Structure 1
Amino acid sequence: MSGPAIIYQQELARSEGLLSGLNRRFARLGFARLAVFVGIIALAAVAVANRGGAAVPLNGALVAGFVGLIGWHERVARRRERAERSVAYYQCGLARLEDRWLEGGDPGDRFRDDAHLYATDLEVFGQGSLFHYISVARSETGASMLASWLLQPADAATIGARHDAVRELAQDLALRHDLAVAASAARGALDSTALRAWLAAPPAGFPPGVRPATALLAVANVATTGAALAGWIPGFVVLGSYLVSLAVVRFQSVRTNPVLHSVERPARELRVLAALLSRVADHPFASGRLRHLAGAWSGASSAVAEIRRLERLVDLLDARRNQLFMPVAALTLFGTQLAVAIERWRARVGTKAVGWLEAVGELEALSSFATLAFEHPADAFPEVVADGAFVETTGMAHPLLPSDRAVPNDFNLGGSRRLVMVSGSNMSGKSTFLKAIGANVVLALAGAPTRSTRFRVGQVALGASLVLRESLLEGRSRFYAEVLRLKAIVTRAETGGPVLFLLDEMLSGTNSHDRAIGARGILEGLVARGAVGIVTTHDLALTEIAKSMKAAALNCHLEDELIDGQLHFDYRIKPGVVERSNALELMKSIGLTSALDS
């Protein structure tokens, strides 16, 4: 059992022990509350029967004890919920290490973009995807940040800064655990889109004098009501104060009502943000990027205090709905004063809160990479070079494959070698090899460790054509979809920096003659524009393209071996063109022998 698994199991056992103890305490306190409540009822009956007596003060003591038990019970309930989230955190970690991660997690389907040059082809999002495997973000902000990193390669300097941050966080399991536990208290609560919209919405437009006017009217209403009840002033004075207040409330309701109706969801989201900020406040980060993020919430205690102020305003909004409080609320123009206070908070804190949100989202994205580094300590942090189009790797495998099934390969592309043509028989692993290269390049250019012992890559733009589909509604065949993707990759090579292209079974939807001519023209054009790439094929005619390009291209292959009538694959890439096919053997293996022999 590996080091990370041992650590997770130890922490899981500790968390389960804590949870078990809290469950027992929670149950005992529940019984104690019930017993005290029954005692209160019984003593109340005794007091009524005896018209008071010693039962009254004793019952008062029981009531006080009952109130105390309620608070104690709630505190234990919160600790129990945290322990449950802690248990879930370590269980998820073990599930990833034991290749059971498909059972839960976030597939990130909402980030899918079929028009993206590699996201769908390399399975970046969706069930069983790269995002599904990596993401431990509990907030939508963190998930969105991670998704953007996987879709938009960073520059070499940014990647280096992320590496330092990831290495630091990988060594701090306690911090990563606490961030996940704090945010998972309200999964998905930090909806960055909704919260940003609320923070950046135009001001409600309360006139400058509304705040002092409502405060003065509230004082006037209370004072005149009290004076009238005491008989000091006539009733029409009170009525006049009420009518003025009613006019102000009615006139401002067009501003007040939207403010009060729109604040509750953002307040819930900000409550989760406060929990995260509370954990990182004053944390002694060492890496430059993490210190930079800490600057966004510098004085995080004040950031938390600001959010707590808004929470108190929302709590008052809840009190306003209480029927017993409604007369007081009407008397004091409570709703209008509350809306003005919320708007003042938004004007004062809105811009800063967006910064807090961004910083915490980046911290969660970095924590996802750090978790990957912690759980796979042998994975290499890549070297990303600002100039050039190349990939050099040793011991590379696909990060989504279980370790007992992933076959590592060494591979070099770049320099004078601009194209590698990979031929091979069916099921020999050509597509998986392309996806392994692509997935590791995506990780490398996002700032994550790669599933390899060494990985060096230029700062390339990635383009892939592996899983294109036809569209009946758009009247588009698979071949035409591939042609459009190839056009997009060529355009990227013409207009941008160096391109790495990954093409699976290139132009397989047309006849061999057109395929050979089209493939040659496209590949020679890409290479002429500074691109490098890998192409897989069953069609051995395409291997002639690599031969004709001499030192600029290389033929490699993946093959199978027929042993005792069974096909065996080693998934190792080898130089040269494949020398045998297995299509007939595969067809015969599923009972098509008679059809083939006829």
Structure 2
Amino acid sequence: MEIYQKRQLLFNNQYNAIRSKYKLVGAIRLLVFLAIICFFYLALAKADTFYLYIVGGAVIAFLILLRIHVGYSWRMRYVQALKDVNRDELSFLEKDERPFEDGSEFKTTEHPYAFDLDIFGYKSLYQYLNRTATFIGKQKLADLLKGKLSANEILENQEAVKELSQKAEWRQEINAYSKLANLDDKSYQRLKKWSETEVLTISKFTRLLSYILPILLGVAIVLYFLLDIEVMGYVISSLFSINLIMTLSHIKYIQRELGGADKIHETIESCSAIIKRIEKESFVTEKMKSYISELNKDSFQASKELKELSRLFEQLETVANIFVMVVFNGFIQYHVHALYKFLDWKKEKGHLVPKSIEIIGEVEALNSLANFSYNNRYYTFPVISEEGKMSFTNLGHPLLNEKKRVCNDIDFSNQRFVILTGSNMSGKSTFLRTIGVNLVLAGIGAPICATKASFFPLPLFVSMRLTDSLEDSESYFYAEVKRLKMIIEQVREESCFVLLDEILRGTNSDDKQSGTIGVIHKLIRENTYGVIATHDLEVCETTNKFPDILINKCFEVEIKEDDLHFDYKIRDGVCQNKNATFIMRKMEIID
């Protein structure tokens, strides 16, 4: 937390210093502009060329000041972004606020575990982790949380996260640049579509004319002034008009490449800056080094090439400027030549755009995990077991406040399936989510809330929070049966980890009991790992038939001084205490 406080103070001071310079340059620029008007008036009023020389010098000074002013403006925005990064981190750590996007757009009830484990949405795991600022970064983080990685991919991610967690300043720079990039869904889709469209082919004759006609115009102008040939005036106006017509015939191609986007060059330039920071950084892990190799493939330096593309986009965007359009194109077909350079770049290096953006997104996602690791340095990276062992020591829910969090040990190495009992509010559902969320984290290469852990990657399936659907005329019971069917079919295909919370609630007690036992039999018949929570103590007798596979665990509650006391600690065996009747009596629902 201390580093965020120091850096917020640092950037606050930097911002104020830059802002002062920005205002000063702005004031000087205004004075120079007024001087230009004043001396131009004097030049006209007194017919004195001396004042015109002053005007010329003032115009040059104005342009230099404009460039400096724009530079300070960008620097202010960059430092402001760094201030925001540290402010948000402090709000998150000190006030338990969530000033980060929650990924609600990725929420779905169809996913095997995302809805049940609160992976997306308000105060979700995604919101807790998310430090991305571009659309592709958000998408890559969501894909990580919803997907499944191999053991090798998990190890690669773990090493990259460990390395990036030590690069706090670098990560914040990437985040700040990403905030300035404005690479939203629309911009991303537009650039992706642009890179995939066929490169326009311009005939060699048309290209040749675009050089010959401006040269002829230049020769005509020289002859007009040197030889004072009157007919050259008509030649000049004719060639000027032809150049304009040639440019106008290319306008539709320019507009096609621009695609109606506004200031796309700024987005490309920000991407170039991000890529440059990635290229310049020294990495030791294979995953991060592979990104640099990919960016510099085929002898291209992606950051340099993207900066060139940004400049070409900016040149094409000036087609909307009437002065540039008429004067520059009338004399030299400016936008025609800009288009040719643009098309040549696209043909040779167009593949760099989607590749670079994809890498930016992946680095943003890894930075999010690295930030999570940095903020929770006492968390552990689970060991991937080659012997098929899975155990967790002091396992807690990472989204719960550390002061309120209760941690437990759980081992699936001997008996791979747990029947969990406990009275109402004793912590069964929270414990299931604790296991599930930590398995998701472990499966993407992030550290988990435990002091020691070993696991091996398995597909995760959860049935905890199903809903009925009026739209599909689907009852809660039918939705639950459909989920259970999906799980049973999947465990037949491969070994899975399954979390079930009080299944078959939508039926009578006899059906529920026999159905639950039937589901357990089906699951353990295959090589399934997991936990099923139930209130039905009869179900626990199943462990007697399969002692090598099943084990009973429980959460207990104590009634002390006419009040309930929960310790939320898991124990061996079957729950002995009940509290539903006690609570109802205390609330005067029953006598």
Alignment of 1:28-39 (within 5 A): 28-34=24-30
Bigger drift between 212-221 and 114-123 goes to 212-221
Q: Which residue of 2 aligns with 1:11?
A: 7
Moved more, 323-332 or 107-116: 323-332
Residue 154 of structure 2 is matched in structure 1 by 159
Structure 2 residue aligned with 1:124: 119
The code of the aligned residue for 2:419 comes to: M
Are 1:195 and 1:269, in contact at CA under 8 Å, matched by a contact in 2? Answer: no
Alignment partner, residue 307 of structure 1: 306
Distance 1:258 1:225, change over 3 A: farther
The one-letter code of the counterpart of 1:320 is: V
Partner of 2:537: 540
CA contact (8 A) 2:416 2:550 kept: yes
Show the counterpart of 1:90.
86
State the shift of 1:408 in Å: 0.9
**Aligned match of 1:508:** 505
Pair 1:172 & 2:167 matched: yes
| Equivalent of 1:521 in 506, 518, 522 | 518
Question: Contact 1:121/1:466 (CA < 8 Å) preserved in 2?
Answer: yes
CA RMSD, Structure 1 to Structure 2 (Å) = 3.2
Alpha-carbon distance change, 255 to 58 in structure 1, aligned in 2, over 3 angstroms:
closer
Gaps of 5+ in 1: none
Q: Relative to structure 1, is the Cα distance of residues 14 and 274 closer, same or farther in structure 2, using a 3 angstrom cutoff?
A: same
AA of the residue aligned to 2:191: L
SS state at 2:259 partner: helix
> Which deviates further from its counterpart, 60-69 or 359-368?
60-69
What aligned pairs does 1:186-197 form with structure 2 within 5 A after superposition?
186-189=181-184, 191-197=187-193
Deviates more, 1:579-588 or 1:333-342: 333-342
Could you tell me how far apart the structure 1 residues matched to 2:353 and 2:438 are?
35
TM-score norm. by structure 1 comes to 0.88
- CA spacing shift, 1:369–1:58, aligned 2, 3 Å: same
For structure 1, which segment, 237-246 or 193-202, has the greater mean C-alpha deviation from structure 2 after superposition? Answer: 237-246
**Aligned equivalents of 2:370, 2:122: Cα separation in 1:** 22
The range that moved more, 70-79 or 480-489, is: 70-79
| Distance in 1 separating the partners of 2:362 and 2:302 | 17
Q: Deviations over 1:339-392 (max 9, x none)?
A: 34323222211223332222222222211111111111110001123664x531
Rounded Cα–Cα distance in structure 2 between residues aligned with 1:71 and 1:339: 25
Cα distance 1:234–1:366, how it changes in 2: closer, same or farther (>3 A)? closer
> Deviations along 1:275-309, whole A, 9 cap, x unmatched?
10121223221111111111012289832222222
Find 2:287's aligned residue among 289, 302, 314: 289
Deviation at 1:218, TM superposition (A): 4.7
Which one of the candidate residues 270, 275, 278 is aligned to 1:280?
A: 278
Instruction: Report the Cα distance in structure 2 between the residues aligned to 1:172 and 1:245, rounded to whole angstroms.
Output: 53
Structure 2 counterpart of 1:344: 344
- Residues 34, 247 of structure 1: CA spacing in aligned structure 2 closer, same or farther, 3 A cutoff? closer
1:105-162 per-residue CA deviation (whole Å, 9 max, x = no partner) reads 1211222232111111111111111111112122222222222111112111111111
Deviates more, 1:171-180 or 1:234-243: 234-243
Deviation at 1:583, TM superposition (A): 1.8
Question: Secondary structure at 2:565's aligned position in 1?
Answer: strand
> Is residue 2:75 matched to residue 1:76?
no
Shift of 1:543: 2.4
From the superposition, tell whether residues 343 and 433 of structure 1 become closer, same or farther in structure 2 (CA, over 3 Å): same
Aligned counterparts of 2:205 and 2:466: Cα–Cα separation in 1: 62
1:475 corresponds to: 473
Quote the Cα distance in structure 2 between the aligned partners of 1:395 and 1:17. Answer: 43
CA distance in 2, matches of 1:48, 1:237: 28
The 2-side partners of 1:42 and 1:264 are apart by: 35
Does the 8 Å contact 2:513/2:536 carry over to 1? Answer: no
Aligned to 1:573, what secondary structure does the other structure show? strand
CA contact (8 A) 2:258 2:317 kept: no
285 and 566 in structure 1: CA distance in 2 versus 1, 3 angstrom threshold: same
The CA distance in 1 between the partners of 2:21 and 2:486, in whole Å, is 63
Q: 1:434-466 deviations in whole A, cap 9, x for unaligned?
A: 111011101111011111111211221100011
Matched-pair contact (CA < 8 Å) for 1:101–1:133: no
Rounded Cα–Cα distance in structure 2 between residues aligned with 1:313 and 1:554: 67
User: Structure 2 matches for 1:83-232, cutoff 5 A?
Assistant: 83-98=79-94, 100-102=96-98, 104-189=99-184, 191-207=187-203, 209-219=205-215, 230-232=229-231
SS of the equivalent of 1:124 reads coil
Q: Are the aligned partners of 1:424 and 1:557 in contact in 2 as well (CA < 8 Å)?
A: yes
Number of residue-to-residue matches in the alignment: 585
- Aligned with 1:295: secondary structure? helix
Q: Which residue of 2 aligns with 1:316?
A: 315
One-letter identity of the residue aligned with 1:195: L
- Within the candidate set 580, 592, 596, 2:590 is matched to 596
CA drift of 1:582 comes to: 1.8
Q: Does structure 1 conserve the Cα–Cα contact (< 8 Å) formed by 2:117 and 2:433?
A: yes
Residue 463 of structure 2 corresponds to 465
Of 542-551 and 79-88, deviating more is 542-551
Instruction: State the alpha-carbon separation in 2 of the partners of residues 154 and 333 from structure 1.
Output: 53
Give the Cα–Cα distance (whole angstroms) in 1 for the partners of residues 253 and 79 of structure 2: 43
Deviations 1:446-500 (A, max 9, x none): 01111111121122110001111111010111111111111111111112x3100
The range that moved more, 111-120 or 323-332, is: 323-332
Q: Secondary structure at the match of 2:574?
A: coil
The Cα shift of 1:536 comes to 1.1
- The amino acid that maps onto 1:181 is A
Q: Answer whether contact 1:106 1:135 (CA < 8 A) is retained.
A: yes
TM-score by length of 2: 0.89
Pairwise mapping of residues 529-568 of structure 1 onto structure 2 (< 5 A)?
529-568=526-565
* Pairing of 1:254-265 with structure 2 (within 5 A): 255-261=253-259
Rounded Cα–Cα distance in structure 1 between residues aligned with 2:143 and 2:532: 27
Q: Which residue identity is paired with 1:401?
A: L
In structure 2, what residue type is equivalent to 1:576? G
**Distance of aligned partners of 1:67 and 1:481 in 2 relative to their CA distance in 1, 3 Å threshold:** same
CA distance in 1, matches of 2:252, 2:49: 57
Q: Provide the secondary structure at the position in 2 that maps to 1:293.
A: helix
Residues 113 and 272 (structure 1), Cα distance of their counterparts in 2 relative to 1, 3 Å cut: farther
Cα deviation per residue 1:515-535 (whole Å; 9 max; x = unaligned)?
112112222111111111101
Q: Taking structure 1 as reference, are residues 293 and 517 closer, same or farther at Cα in structure 2, changes over 3 Å only?
A: same
Tell me the equivalent position of 1:413: 412
Letter in 2 for 1:511: N
| Matched AA of 2:396 | A
